[in-house]
Chain A
Amino acid sequence: MSAEKLIQLRGITKQYGTGDAAFLALCGVDLDIHRGEFVAIMGPSGSGKSTLMNLLGCLDTPTSGSYQFKGIAVEELNKDQRSLLRRHALGFIFQGFNLLARTSALENVELPLLYRGYSRKQRHEMAREALAQVSLSDKERNTPAELSGGQQQRVAIARAIVTKPDTLFADEPTGNLDSKTTVEIMELLRTLNADHGISIIMVTHEDEVAACARRIINVRDGVISSDTVNEHTKETP
């Protein structure tokens, strides 16, 4: 594993609410993730694993602590700068897919490219390429309502990788899918990690899914309770 550091968290806390209603979701997390890793973040619900993931993905801001992404101090960035960081370096996959309704697969995949200012021709080319990567070339005209859950998630993955990001964040990517589709999606993620060198940080509560990752981090009550290398990465979950 290369030693190039992708993510460095030091003393990260996240508090929701104030006063008596205050709730500390994360209380002092230190974490290093290197380029090319495939990390699964596990933990029971309410453990803070999703909060951690949202902070890592720059979708939310920590209450205190320092976060360096590729040497950039994220906590010093303003909203727009965080947007630009997400635009240029990060990709997201959500449990609920979060595709635009009534919008074709191709246009959904094109969405991040629009904000990067590619021409129409480039957008079409890149979006078709990404759809081909997730084996959905024949569905580019279909809207989310006309696609199965697995197909929708693959469109979401295509949208996440169309910009060729360094890092992919996946929040319960198989949470809404059946076991057969789960296998397909995990295969896809593993290919992206192994063949394209994309670092993947994934939140899950399923051991089977986590077994695909090469590093498993357990979060409990807002702190990291264990951080182990998965020596026997399963070929199929």
Chain B
Amino acid sequence: MNAMFFNALLIAIREIRRNLTRSFLTVIGIVIGVAAVITMVTLGRGATESVKQQISKMGNNLLVLRPGQGWGSSGAPQFSMQDVDAIRDQIPGIASVAPFVSSNSSIVYQDRNRTFDVQGTTPNYFAIANWKVGTGRFFTEAEVTESAPVCVIGETIRKELFGAGVDPVGSKIRVKSLTLEVVGVTGAKGQGGFSDDLDDNVITPYTTVIHRLSGRQGGRNFNQVMISGEQGYPTANIVADVASLMRERRKITANQEDNFNVFDSQQLAEVISSSTKVMTSLLGWVAAVSLLVGGIGIMNIMLVSVTERTREIGIRLAIGARAREVLLQFLVEAVTLSCIGGVTGIALAYGLCSLGAEKVGAPFLFDPKINIIAFIFSAGIGILFGFMPARRAAGLNPIDALRHE
């Protein structure tokens, strides 16, 4: 039995070698099928993962309380410091709360000026929104208390106002009539979940904005309240608790609509990643079609060579080969070619994926499952169609196989 297998291997390798074109075309069919499926699915998964990462850049379990319904505040009352304190003190599962006021202002540094969002908040905000120190430092609680004219700027602003490679810490920028000292630069985040630039901001103590920039608005100064939930605590509970607290504080009666909304970044992440999952499975189907086309290519090559191969089988039978020896030879041939094709396809997919991941900006996640599925499917086609014609031919009388036209 071992000798028979060894023989079949020897003969199969001779046959592969003497029919290089046919062998090459078979292998190519498998390579393309395998590589296409793996590449598309892997890149799709990478894209899903990258969306998740981008959303987590916005903050840790971030919830945002805004006035009004939907995105616009449309005249609904804003939030006061008492609201912020109430949320922090009365709602379970909250890690940190920060008030947030933003004011669109023109910023000047030397001869350059541009309009940016100046954001007033407390040091808590840096942790909530997942900011890291790039250079310098963040401002402190003490600076908030004394309405200090300090600010932390984003990477985009550093580039646009100061130019590449310049350390802006200690420099002064002017916002309206107010001069702010740059105390730090935030670490770059890049693009957010909506292709918006997350590094385009100037962050100062909220007291500075309220007292020196936009003026008091009857105690309701904040157009957002940033809330981060404790790790593992369900954000849906926090959303519900914040909503009922705010209804109570804003004296909304049972038959009235909320005049605020709570945005949950985790819910958004789920929505976006489920839509990219749909894209991934769509790509997967496209790739499956290319796998099928590759398979049909293999079928064609095998069927075209049936005549020559049937005669070959006739010769082998005539000189005394048993049908099972011929079949084993064909099986070994088909398995060998399919495996070469499958392995090459996986290697090619690996190259394409790492290249594509770089281009798309998605992380490169190699998934063994899809590799195995693509490999088994295309190898299956290769083996099936390499083997079936041989099975038919080996069942013939040797003389009929020899005379096959």
Which residues on A are within 8 Å of B, measured CB to CB?
54, 57, 59-61, 79-80, 83-88, 90, 92, 94, 98-103, 107, 111-112, 114-117, 159, 163
- Overall SS of chain B's interface: helix
Contacts of B19 in A (CB 8 A): 102
CA distance A60 to B398 in the complex (A): 7
Asked whether any CB of chain A lies closer than 8 Å to the CB of B392, the reply is: no
* Chain B window 309-323, contacts with chain A (Cβ cutoff 8 Å), 1 for yes, 0 for no: 001101111111111
A98 close to B11 (CB less than 8 A): no
State whether A59 and B398 are in contact (beta carbons under 8 Å apart), knowing that A80-B323, A103-B18 are contacts in the complex: yes
Which 9 residue pairs spanning A and B have beta carbons closest together? A87-B320, A59-B399, A86-B320, A102-B18, A83-B322, A112-B319, A59-B398, A80-B322, A54-B399
The answer to whether A115 touches B18 (Cβ under 8 A) is no
* Chain B residues near A159 (CB-CB < 8 A): 319
Interface residues of B (CB under 8 A from A): 3, 7, 10-11, 14, 18-19, 308, 311-312, 314-325, 397-400, 402
Q: Is the CB of B320 within 8 A of A83?
A: yes
Chain A's nearest CB lies how many Å from the CB of B389?
Answer: 17
Taking a contact as CB atoms under 8 Å apart, the answer to whether B308 and A86 are in contact is no
Show 10 A/B contacts (Cβ-Cβ < 8 Å), sorted by A. Answer: A59-B399, A60-B399, A60-B400, A83-B317, A83-B320, A112-B319, A114-B7, A115-B7, A115-B320, A163-B320
Is the CB–CB distance between A107 and B14 below 8 Å?
A: yes
Most buried by B among A84, A86, A117: A86
Give the distance to chain A from B9, nearest Cβ to Cβ, in Å.
11
A80 B318 Cβ-Cβ under 8 A: no
Q: How many whole Å from B5's CB to the nearest CB in chain A? A: 12
In the bound complex, CA of A88 to CA of B321 (Å): 11
Known: A102-B19, A117-B3. A83 touches B323 (CB 8 A): yes
Asked if B14 and A103 sit within 8 Å, CB to CB, the answer is: yes
Task: Compute how far the CA of A80 lies from the CA of B397 in the bound complex, rounded to whole angstroms.
Answer: 11
Task: Tell me the complex Cα distance, A61–B319, Å.
Answer: 16
Question: CA separation between A143 and B312, bound complex, in Å?
Answer: 15
Complex interface: chain A residues within 8 A of B316 (CB): 111, 115
Contact indicator A79/B321 (Cβ below 8 Å): no
Chain A proximity of B48: nearest CB distance (Å): 50
Contact B315 A98 (CB under 8 A): yes
B321 nearest in chain A by CB position: A115
Min Cβ gap B89→A in Å is 87
Is B318 a contact of A59 with CB atoms below 8 Å? yes
Beta-carbon contact of A100 and B315 below 8 Å: yes
Given contacts A59-B397, A103-B14, A114-B10, contact A98 B323 (CB under 8 A): no
CA distance in complex: A85, B317 (Å): 11
Flag if B399 contacts A83 (CB, 8 Å): no
Query: What separation, in Å, do the CA atoms of A100 and B11 have in the docked complex?
Result: 12
Q: In the assembly, what is the distance between CA of A199 and CA of B7, in Å? A: 30
Are B311 and A98 in contact (CB-based, < 8 A)? yes
Assuming the A-B contacts A98-B314, A98-B402, are A115 and B319 also in contact, with contact meaning beta carbons closer than 8 angstroms in the complex?
Answer: yes
Residue of A nearest to B324 (CB): A80
Q: Considering the complex, give the chain A residue whose CB is closest to the CB of B319.
A: A112
Taking a contact as CB atoms under 8 Å apart, the answer to whether B312 and A86 are in contact is no
| Pair B7/A84 contact, Cβ less than 8 Å | no
Min CB distance B305 to A, Å, is: 12
Contacting residues, chain B, for A86 (C-beta < 8 A): 318-320, 398
The residue that A88 contacts in the complex, of B3, B320, B325, with Cβ under 8 A, is B320
Nearest neighbor of A50 in chain B, beta-carbon distance: B399
User: Of A59, A61, A94, A117, which is in contact with the most chain B CB atoms at under 10 Å from its CB?
Assistant: A59
Chain A positions within 8 Å of B323 at CB level: 79-80, 83
Instruction: Please determine whether B318 and A98 come into contact, CB atoms closer than 8 angstroms.
Output: yes
- Name the B residues within 8 Å of A60 (CB-CB): 397-400
In the complex, how many angstroms separate the beta carbon of A131 from the nearest chain B beta carbon?
A: 16
Besides A86-B320, A107-B14, A117-B3, 16 new A-B residue pairs in contact (Cβ under 8 A), listed by A number: A59-B318, A59-B399, A79-B322, A80-B322, A84-B322, A85-B320, A98-B315, A99-B315, A100-B312, A100-B315, A101-B18, A102-B18, A102-B19, A103-B18, A114-B11, A163-B320
